[in-house]
Amino acid sequence: MLALASVFSMNAQIATVVSKTPILKGVETDMNSPVLSPDGTKLLFCSANYSNLRMLDFATGEVTVVAKDDRSGFDALFTPDSREIYFVTERDGEGGLKMRQLKKYNIAKGETKALSEEMRLVRRPAVSDKGFSVNTDKKSLKKGSVGIAVRAEDSRLIITRNGVDHEYSPVEAYAGYLWPTLSPDRTKVAFVAAGKGVYVTDLEGNILAHLDNRRYEAPSWYGNDFIITQLTTDDGHQLHSSQLVINRADGSASQALTAPESMTMSPAADIDNNRIIYATVDGLLYEMKININK
């Protein structure tokens, strides 16, 4: 902890925290894994076990249950136009084997539509306003066109450009790549190489930067030049601390936004509204307002 503190103190202050405000306090519980819609008007969140995918409309304050299914909140994602939500559900099949299915939720209509049959494995899809593609244990499913998208499957980074999947393995990571995310300008990708920290690549898988803290998780772009990460410590059993850190996307500087003992995690950043939505270990959501220092 002292080492972390000293690293942060060596850097000039990147941002100033303006405020922290609870979201849906006393209204909802067990709120985790927040995901902001690209237009910033909606927020997805789910239970800690990834079931019970819910959506908050910031304009009305209304919370809609998108899906109660198992896994529905694991890597749920909005289409770029913020009109639809893609997610994968899961249920126990015969003999306890998991069966998964890709679904789409139309926000305006409040309708859910199955996009695949139930299969043993349905990966995270690549989505656009006009279609999707997804890998399964049987075959790849595609509908419409997907422009630029990013996914991670085990130790493969799959970057879709012009509807074509390109696989990269820019860094060795036995346990795989996690939390892949596309920058708002859709020119860079950030992901976690398990146990090695966050890497930033271009759309051709070339490494541009390494946010060199092997315990960084859950990167979220704050504009195109900053990445918010979750930094936890543990004793191999329980979490000892969890905090949010803002990093320059080139890896040149970082700054803690919350204290280690705050147990803050799962950032969803939105530079247009100067905010970061995040969760705490006890399943509460907060909105943090920040200003980037000039």
Partner 1 sequence: MKKILLLSAMLLSAAAIFATNPSSLKVYINPGHGGYDSDDRVITVYPFTSGDTMTFAESKSNLFKGLALRQILWDSWPGITVNMSRVQNRTEDDLPLESIGRAATNWGADIFFSIHSNATGTTSRVNFPLMLYRGWDEGKGAAHGEPDEAVPGSMQIGKILAPILMTNQSTVWTNSYQVRGDWSFYTAWSYKSGLGVLRRLGIPGMLSEGSFHDYIPELYRLLNREFCWQEGWHFSKAVEQYFEVPDAQKPQVGHVSGLLIDERVPRDLRDGFKAFQNDLLDPIMGCTVELLTADKSSVVQTYVTDELFNGFYFFKNVAPGNYVVKASIPTHFDVESAIQVKANEITYCTMKMKKQRLTPPEVVSYSPIWKEGDDPLLCNTPLVFNFNWDMDQESTQNAFSIEPAVEGEFSWEDFNYRMVFRPKDRYDVSTNYHVTISTDAEHAGGMKMTAPFTMDFFTTDRNFMEIIGQSIKDGGTIHFHDAAIEFRFDKLPNVTPILKQVSVVDSHGNAVQLNNRGLKYSKTGDPYGYFRIPFVKDLTVGEQYTLTLSPEIADKDGITLQSGLSLNFTAVDAGADKPESQLETMDDPVTLYAYDEENSANVASNKVARNTAKKLFGDACGVFTYTFTGDEGGEILWARSEATEKGVTHENRLGVHVNGDLSNNELYIQLASDNDTKFAKVCDLDFLGWKYLDVPLTMLEGENAYKVKGVKVIQVASQMGKSGEIMLDNINLIGEDGVEAVAADVADFSIYPNPASEYLIANAVVWVEDIELLNMNGAVVAKAQGNVLNVSEIPSGAYLARVNVAGKKVTQKVIIKH
CA 242, 245, 249, 250 dihedral sign is: negative
Q: How far is the CB of 212 from partner 1 (least distance, A)?
A: 12
- Shortest Cβ distance from residue 139 to partner 1 (Å)? 16
**Ramachandran bin of 260, using left for φ above 0, alpha for ψ from -120 to 50, beta for the remaining angles:** alpha
Regarding beta strands 63-67 and 53-57, do their DSSP bridges make them parallel or antiparallel, or are they unpaired?
A: antiparallel
CB of 122 to partner 1, least distance (A): 8
Least separation in angstroms between residue 154's CB and partner 1 is: 7
Which residues does residue 86 pair with via DSSP β-bridges, in sequence order?
Answer: 77, 104
Tokens of 21: 């405000």
Tell me whether residue 17 or residue 171 sits nearer to partner 1 (CB atom). 171
Cα(190)–Cα(199) distance, integer angstroms: 6
With vertex at residue 103, the alpha carbon angle to CA 159 and CA 157, rounded to the nearest 5 degrees, is: 15
Closer to partner 1 by CB, 98 or 130: give it: 98
Q: Could you tell me the smallest distance in angstroms from the CB atom of residue 100 to partner 1?
A: 7
CA distances to 18, 35, 60, 180, 260 from 41, in Å: 21, 11, 10, 22, 30
Nearer to partner 1, 154 or 204 (CB): 154
Kindly state the DSSP code that residue 224 receives in the 8-state scheme: T
Whether residue 293 contacts residue 32, with contact meaning beta carbons closer than 8 Å, is answered with no
Nearer to partner 1, 182 or 198 (CB): 198
Nearer to partner 1, 30 or 225 (CB): 30
User: Given the rule CB under 8 A, which residues bind partner 1?
Assistant: 32-33, 48-51, 70-71, 74-75, 90, 92-98, 100, 120-124, 152, 154, 174-176, 178-179, 192, 194-196, 214-215, 217-218, 230, 232, 234-239, 263, 265, 281-283
Considering beta carbons, is residue 63 or 171 the nearer one to partner 1? 171
The CB-of-282 to partner 1 minimum distance in angstroms stands at: 5
Which region holds residue 263: left if phi is over 0, alpha if psi is between -120 and 50, else beta?
left
